[in-house]
């Protein structure tokens, strides 16, 4: 079943184009990551899904219901965590979670107690005395306490200390294994890639690449050479894609036969060489900095 779908979703704030023709599909059971730098349009997309703002063109659905027309019905089964979580200074985690349970008309406190345990939440201290990391964990607990069918998190890692980040992502994985679909936005691919089934890369309001992380990816090498003079044509003929070229160094990505690469390198006069497997972050950076900017590429789906 389609959990989230966006169709030609486009949003302008006056002259600012925040989202342009975004088509995404999140299937039930996924942990789907939306990755992009600050200003790419991630929060705008989330706000459109939650019907906080309205699109100029296109539409979005959650559980195959139109987000603008069925917002109240949808929100009963959705948990949402904004990037910054704020509550009134005196409120405690216990009060917040109990109010959230009451709001959803849930009698049992079992889910609340297991969240206290999993996230090591202090239930009685007032909000104002808590660290930013603890406040964020409570925001996440409030969004999860009614065991939603879909959890939407805007920058879940923001504000969390490293130990809390691990706790939260493990908790998200567990919730996903129990049936909660997850859609999260982040500006750090490294932070989320181990947890996601798919990631979409957003750049200046456009989706420029979607990667299926459940499939084995083609090995891409990142090669860096140092020397006095290089003949790029040999490297380009070989299939290398230049990433960075200076007078005395060359960095390129390479997807071809490794033996051919080594043969070509052995014929060059080099001072130093490094060859490493590209991380997903390297490949995505290549998309930001390289020549793919205006293409939408879907890989392995
Ligand atoms: P992200 O969440 O990826 O950091 P946003 O969705 O917040 O990106 O912003 C996308 C673009 O829209 C940016 O250029 C931002 O400055 C602009 N923007 C966001 N909200 C508003 C607003 N309320 N009014 C005007 N411009 C906005």
Question: What local confidence, expressed as pLDDT, does residue 300 receive?
Answer: 34
Token look-up 């706790």 returns 167
Residue 41 CA, closest ligand 1 atom number: 6
What's the gap in Å between 56 CA and the centre of ligand 1? 15
pLDDT in tens, 168-205: 999 999 999 999 999 999 998 888 988 999 999 999 99
Question: What local confidence, expressed as pLDDT, does residue 282 receive?
Answer: 74
Which of 18, 22, 45, 203 for mutating ligand 1's site (highest number of atoms within 8 Å of CB)?
18
**What's the mean per-residue pLDDT of the chain?**
91
Residue whose CA is at the smallest distance from ligand 1 atom 15: 39
Residue whose CA is at the smallest distance from ligand 1 atom 24: 13
| The overall pTM is greater than 0.75 | yes
- Residue extent(s) of CATH 3.40.50.300 domains in the chain: 2-212
Q: Is the pLDDT of residue 293 over 60?
A: no
What's the gap in Å between 199 CA and the centre of ligand 1? 20
Question: What local confidence, expressed as pLDDT, does residue 287 receive?
Answer: 65
pLDDT in tens, 152-176: 999 999 999 999 999 999 999 999 9
pLDDT in tens, 9-59: 999 999 999 999 999 999 999 999 999 999 999 999 999 999 999 999 999
- Here the contacts of 282-287 (C-beta below 8 Å, separation 24 or greater) are 282/220, 282/222, 282/253, 283/220, 283/253, 284/35, 284/189, 284/201, 284/209, 286/241, 286/243, 286/253, 287/201, 287/203, 287/208, 287/209
Higher per-residue confidence, 297 vs 95: 95
Class of 2-212 in CATH: alpha beta
Q: Is the pLDDT of residue 217 over 90?
A: no
Q: Is the pLDDT of residue 294 over 80?
A: no
Q: What's the mean pLDDT in 113-119? A: 93
Do 9 and 60 meet the contact criterion of CB atoms below 8 Å apart? yes
What's the gap in Å between 96 CA and the centre of ligand 1? 29
Question: What local confidence, expressed as pLDDT, does residue 219 receive?
Answer: 78
What's the gap in Å between 294 CA and the centre of ligand 1? 20
- Residue extent(s) of CATH 3.30.70.1150 domains in the chain: 221-277
Residue 154 CA, closest ligand 1 atom number: 2
The model's confidence at residue 298, banded by pLDDT at 50, 70 and 90, is: very low
Superfamily name and number for 221-277 = ACT-like. Chain A, domain 2 (3.30.70.1150)
Residue whose CA is at the smallest distance from ligand 1 atom 13: 39
Residue 19 CA, closest ligand 1 atom number: 10
Do 10 and 57 meet the contact criterion of CB atoms below 8 Å apart? yes
The model's confidence at residue 291, banded by pLDDT at 50, 70 and 90, is: very low
The model's confidence at residue 82, banded by pLDDT at 50, 70 and 90, is: very high
What's the gap in Å between 191 CA and the centre of ligand 1? 22
What's the gap in Å between 252 CA and the centre of ligand 1? 33
CA 122 to CA 104: how far, in whole Å? 22
Question: What local confidence, expressed as pLDDT, does residue 232 receive?
Answer: 78
Q: Is the pLDDT of residue 138 over 50?
A: yes
The model's confidence at residue 289, banded by pLDDT at 50, 70 and 90, is: low
Burial class of residue 115 in the structure, from the number of CB atoms within 10 Å of its CB (0-12 exposed, 13-18 middle, 19+ buried):
buried
Which of 13, 187, 203 for mutating ligand 1's site (highest number of atoms within 8 Å of CB)?
13
The model's confidence at residue 295, banded by pLDDT at 50, 70 and 90, is: very low
The model's confidence at residue 288, banded by pLDDT at 50, 70 and 90, is: low
Residue whose CA is at the smallest distance from ligand 1 atom 11: 18
CA 155 to CA 159: how far, in whole Å? 9
What's the gap in Å between 113 CA and the centre of ligand 1? 37
Question: What local confidence, expressed as pLDDT, does residue 290 receive?
Answer: 54
Residue whose CA is at the smallest distance from ligand 1 atom 14: 39
CA 74 to CA 43: how far, in whole Å? 18
Q: Is the pLDDT of residue 301 over 70?
A: no
- Which residues lie with the beta carbon below 6 Å from any ligand 1 atom? 13, 16, 18, 36, 38-44
Question: What local confidence, expressed as pLDDT, does residue 286 receive?
Answer: 65
């Amino acid at each position: 079943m389609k959990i989230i779908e966006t169709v030609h979703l486009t949003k302008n704030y006056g002259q600012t184009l925040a989202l342009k023709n975004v088509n995404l599909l999140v299937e039930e059971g996924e942990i789907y990551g939306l990755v992009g730098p600050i200003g790419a349009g991630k929060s705008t997309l989330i706000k459109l899904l939650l019907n906080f703002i309205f699109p100029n063109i296109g539409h979005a659905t959650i559980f195959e219901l139109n987000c603008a027309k069925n917002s109240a019905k949808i929100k009963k089964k959705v948990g949402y965590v904004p990037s910054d979580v704020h509550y009134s200074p005196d409120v405690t985690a216990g009060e917040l979670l109990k109010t959230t349970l009451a709001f959803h008309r849930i009698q049992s406190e079992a889910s609340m107690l297991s969240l206290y345990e999993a996230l090591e939440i202090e239930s009685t201290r007032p909000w104002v005395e808590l660290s930013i990391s603890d406040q964020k964990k409570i925001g996440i607990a409030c969004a999860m306490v009614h065991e939603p069918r879909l959890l939407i998190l805007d920058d879940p890692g923001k504000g969390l200390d490293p130990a809390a980040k691990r706790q939260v992502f493990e908790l998200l994985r567990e919730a996903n294994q129990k049936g909660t679909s997850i859609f999260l936005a982040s500006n750090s691919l490294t932070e989320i890639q181990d947890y996601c089934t798919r990631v979409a890369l957003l750049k200046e309001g456009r989706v420029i690449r979607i990667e299926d992380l459940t499939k084995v990816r083609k090995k891409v090498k990142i090669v860096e050479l140092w020397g006095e003079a290089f003949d790029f044509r040999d490297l380009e003929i070989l299939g290398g894609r230049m990433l960075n070229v200076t007078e005395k160094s060359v960095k390129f990505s390479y997807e071809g036969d490794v033996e051919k690469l080594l043969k070509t390198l052995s014929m060059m006069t080099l001072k130093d060489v490094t060859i490493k497997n590209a991380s997903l972050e390297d490949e995505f950076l290549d998309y930001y900095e390289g020549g793919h900017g205006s293409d939408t590429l879907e890989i392995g789906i």
